[in-house]
Each structure stands twice: as C-alpha cells, then as structure tokens.
Chains A and B, each alone.
Chain A
Amino acid sequence: MTAKLAERPAGADLVRSGIRAQAANSSFAFVVRAAAVSVFVILVLIVVTMTREAWPAFWHSGLGFVTGTDWSPSADLYGALPFVYGTMVSSLMALVLALPVSIGIALFINEYAPRRLRAPGVYLVDLLAAIPSVVYGLWGVLVLGPFLLPYVQKVADTIGTWPVFSAVFGGPVGLKSMFLAALILTIMIVPIITSITREVFDTVPADQKAAAVALGATRWEMVRGAVFPHSRNGMVAAVLLGLGRAMGETIAVALVIGSTAQITTRIFAPADSMAAVIANTFGESSGVNRAALIGLGVVLFAMTIVVNMAGQFVARRSGRKGAGT
C-alpha cells in the first residue's frame, strides 16, 4: 500500500480536469437558479398579461373604474367600488371575529391545554384548514344560512328598529348576506391566524415565562405580562396575512354573499365582493365586461399584494421567517 501511494505522481491529477463533471456541476447550479427565478417570471407575467387583457375596461372607465358605484354591464357601466367595499367590509368583519378566537386557540395549544390535548389541538387547526372552501360554502348556503335566518330576522326586528342601530342591523333580511359571508370567512381564516400566532408565541423565551410565574403571576398574568408584549409585531403580521387571505377568498363567499352590487352599512343585506363577482359572472361575460372582470382581478391582486407585503415586512421584523400556510 505504502509503495503504491508513493509511486503516485504527486499533484498532477489535482489540476482542473474532468470537464464533464465540472460542467454537470455548473449546469445543475444554473438549473436550480432558473427554477428560483421562475417565481419572479410568473409574477411579472401575471401583472403584464392581466393588465393587457384588462386594458379595454380601464380605458373605457378611466379612474371611474375604482371610484364609480354603478356596475351595470348591460349599460356598459363599470364602477367597481361596491365590490371593493364588499371585499373590505366582509374581510374586516371576519378579521374582528376571527382574531380573538385564533388567539384563544393559540393560547390553548401553547399554554393552557393539558399535555395530552396539545396534539389534538394542532390536528383541529390543520383539519379546519384542510376542508376545501367550496365545502364551507355549500354548508353555508344550504345549512347555516337557513338555520340562522329566523334568528337574524329577530335581531333585525328588535335591535334593527332602534335608531342608529338600524343602520347596521336593520332589515330587510336576506338568506345570503354580508353577515353570512363574514361568518364563513371567519371559519376560513381562523387556521392561518392561529398558526402564525402560535409560531409567534413559540418565540417567547421560556425563561421569561418562568420568571413571570416565579414572581407569583397567575397563568393569565403570565400571558399578559410575558407572552403578549413579546408577540405584538407577530400578531400584527398574523392579522395582515389573515386579512390578505380573507380578501382573496372566492368560492365560499361567492356562494353566500348574495351577488348584489350595493354599498350599504346593513350587514344582513346581500352584497358582493371582487372575487365573488368574477367567479359568478365571468362565464357569461364578453367584450368590455370580460375585460372589466379581469380588471377587477388586477385591482384585487394589487390590494392583496399590498396587504401581504406589509404582513411579510412586519413578520420579518418580528423575527419570523415565513408566512405559514
């Protein structure tokens, strides 16, 4: 063995050789880089091709496309404000409902649950996220809506007749409504907000929590004193990313919101959202109408991107890496 090694030409074979091996090496690097850049390419293509197809509608309506309140394809009127309004209001309502529940579930899994209930808690959230949105929509329109209708009617007949309150809870009451859409949306964004909130709670140093408990804090005082202050940024990120998800949610909303382009403060009245109107009317549209619907897609894209970027920015500042699922 020794002799064999000694006879080897020292160093000659260290000179760069194996052109093929090196080529394979650098072409692999090229391929993976190209795959990564594909994300950029797709996003650019989304903006370019959709804007191009929507151009006739933007040209037709000008700035009125986003400020106009009349959407009437038969009259060639394309004012998208009622849809923007519907998207924002239904999403914000869902957010208000979902946030406390999500924080509660996150606290349950991370702090409150007995050890053997923790894993089932995680399963619960995963399962909630796994049910396809169209199934929630089906349930909403065939079961939840009809079930809630008499109660909603009662609220409209009592609280809805009081001054001031009538502006929000007043009738007439529809089977499909902004309220029902917000409820369904709530169920759909609880999982994402919960999982981000949990990740944030996980970053609270254990010794800070231990310190709070060692000072004689109750569990709630520990949560308020050690967990919440540490998680403020992360919770803002969770809210923004949940809002982004709610704004883009399509099918469930399309089934339960009522498809009525109007701006009203009454939550039991039917309304419409950007995603829902695209889903519900794209099939039978043509010409400028179709361009206008694609234009709605562009506006929706822009709005969700802004909200998501803000969410990611805050998330990054709070030290989290990703946006969860």
Chain B
Amino acid sequence: MTVPAALHVPPTEAPPTALATEGLGVYYGDWLAVDDITLQVPRHHITAFIGPSGCGKSTLLRCFNRMNDLIAGARVVGRVTYGDVDLYDDRIDPVQVRRRIGMVFQRPNPFPKSVYDNVAYGLRVHAMTEDLDDRVEDALRRAALWDDVKGALKKSALALSGGQQQRLCIARTIAVEPDIVLMDEPCSALDPIATGRIEDLMQELRRDYTILIVTHNMQQAARASDYAAFLTTEVDGDGDRRRGKLVEFAATNELFTHPQDPRTENYITGRFG
C-alpha cells in the first residue's frame, strides 16, 4: 500500500526523530489538560517525561499510541508525527498504531493466563504465529526474564513477583516487534531492586527500540534517560483548573546541570534538596 501524498510531512533535521509533536493539546470535555506541546523525540534513545503530579505527563504519553481515544470525552488537538505520517490523521488506524508503538503500564497487568500465553497473546493477535515458541523465548530473553521462568512457562503469570510481572509485560510488548515502547511509571509499584533490574533492562532495550518513559522519580530520570522533558502545571485564567505545559526539553545532562528555565531549576533542586 502506498501512502497518499498528503500524509507526508517534510522531514525534520537530525538527530533522527522517532516521534514529533506540534502544538499538541488534550481536552477532557472542555478542560484543556495538556496545552501546546511541541517537541521531537529522538530515535533509539530513552526520553523521560518528568514533572509534578497532575502535570499531564501520562496524558501526553497516551497521545503517542492513541490510548486517549479510549477515554470518553478525551480529545486531542495538534499533530503527532510518527515517521512521515500524522498519527491523528483520519486515515490512520489506531489499532495499527498501537501495534507499532507499544505500552507498559504503571501497575503490572499480566493477563490471568500462563506466562507463555501472555507473551504469545499479541503474537497470536497479529498472526505472527510461525516459530511461536522461538518468538516467545526471544522476547522473554530480551526482557531478562527467561532464566526466571523457563521451567514454568505454563504456570499462571499471576504467580510471578511484581518485578517479574512487569518484565513479563515488557516481554509481551516487545514480542510483537514494535518501534517504540511507551512506559508509564513502570516502576512505581516495584521495590528498589526490581526497579534497578527494569532500569538495566531499559538500557539493553535502547539498542533496539525508542523508549519514552514517564516517571515521578527524578533520580530514575537522571540515571536512566538520555533526554528529558520537564512539564509543569499552570493555573489558567478561570482559577482552579490546571493545565500541563512543557517547560523545557533537552539532553538529560543539560537539563539537570544547566536548566534554562528557573521553574525547572526550582523543581530539580527542590527535589534533590
């Protein structure tokens, strides 16, 4: 299938971009929750989204695989460019988008099925069933879970520990060979040791995937990401309604050592004490 000409967006300058947004905003009903976000997410890097709670960083993340479509009353304005298409173009099929742009959630959410069936689920949905066993093993290996579960593939995934479950969810996501993996506070329900293993895993996965991670943990962002976007909340004219705004987007080192915006500096220093 060829892409209709109008879908093409002029290529952007280097570094190679995985996703780009232009004037992106999200409404819940008539409340503008996230306003006017413009940024370019570099390919094969880890980009972290940080900011105070309620700043809309998770909402922003859910724009990239159109999960916001599933929330009644949510509406996205502006553009999200993936490769050379606008993800919110009428002709785009959100279901296909999600297959290319996978997501790992805050709480580990394995299906109440066996470990094997969890990883095989997406493969079966997308009819990638030749060499199913190999694909499942490969995904589990890349998620650093193979050694833990190779003897218990038929056991219920719910019997795994929280950290193992989250790695299983990562394996499930990468099994269908996405380009991009979105991670929505993937470690917030985990203990420090499990968190460390997920962070190590992210460094491994960076070679194959572009990773976008939302985190409330500043150390984690500083440790694990290459680029970082700082969002904050602004009270709008009406008073109590708050909206999320992008303050600063830069290489993580830059952002943490030489923040350009005083709000970023306050937030970072406040956090680090």
**In the complex, A touching B, CB below 8 Å?**
yes
Residues in B neighbouring A2, C-beta threshold 8 A: 44, 207-208
Kindly state the separation between the CA atoms of A11 and B1 in the bound complex, as whole angstroms: 11
Choose among B44, B83, B207 the residue that contacts A11 (Cβ–Cβ < 8 A): B83
Residues in B neighbouring A9, C-beta threshold 8 A: 3, 83
For this complex, into which size category does the number of interface residues on chain A fall?
10 to 19
Contact A11 B93 (CB under 8 A): no
Kindly state the separation between the CA atoms of A173 and B108 in the bound complex, as whole angstroms: 71
Q: Which residue of A lies closest to B81 (CB)?
A: A11
Q: Is B100 an interface residue (CB 8 A)?
A: yes
Which of A8, A9, A11, A15 counts the most chain B CB atoms within 10 A?
Answer: A11
Residues in B neighbouring A22, C-beta threshold 8 A: 93
Kindly state the separation between the CA atoms of A22 and B1 in the bound complex, as whole angstroms: 17
Contact B208 A14 (CB under 8 A): no
Q: Is A43 an interface residue (CB 8 A)?
A: no
Q: Which residue of B lies closest to A5 (CB)?
A: B179
Contact A12 B1 (CB under 8 A): yes
Contact B82 A14 (CB under 8 A): yes
Q: Is B37 an interface residue (CB 8 A)?
A: no
- How many chain B residues touch A (CB < 8 A): the figure is 23
Number of A-B contacts (CB under 8 A): 58
Residues in A neighbouring B100, C-beta threshold 8 A: 13-14
Contact status of A16 and B84, CB under 8 A, knowing A5-B208, A8-B179, A11-B3: no
Q: Which residue of A lies closest to B3 (CB)?
A: A12
Contact status of A15 and B1, CB under 8 A, knowing A5-B208, A8-B179: yes
Contact status of A17 and B93, CB under 8 A, knowing A5-B208, A11-B7, A12-B3: yes
- The digit string for B57-98, where 1 denotes a CB below 8 A from any CB of A, is 000000000000000000000000011110100011101110
Residues in B neighbouring A143, C-beta threshold 8 A: none
Kindly state the separation between the CA atoms of A9 and B1 in the bound complex, as whole angstroms: 11
Kindly state the separation between the CA atoms of A12 and B92 in the bound complex, as whole angstroms: 9
- The digit string for A1-25, where 1 denotes a CB below 8 A from any CB of B, is 1100100111111111110011000
Kindly state the separation between the CA atoms of A104 and B6 in the bound complex, as whole angstroms: 72
Contact status of A14 and B179, CB under 8 A, knowing A2-B44, A5-B208: no
Choose among B44, B84, B93, B96 the residue that contacts A10 (Cβ–Cβ < 8 A): B84
Given contacts A2-B44, A14-B100, A18-B93, 4 further A-B contacts (CB under 8 A): A9-B3, A14-B96, A14-B97, A15-B93
Using a CB–CB distance below 8 Å, which chain B residues touch chain A? 1-4, 7, 44, 82-85, 87, 91-93, 95-97, 100, 177, 179, 207-209
Using a CB–CB distance below 8 Å, which chain A residues touch chain B? 1-2, 5, 8-18, 21-22
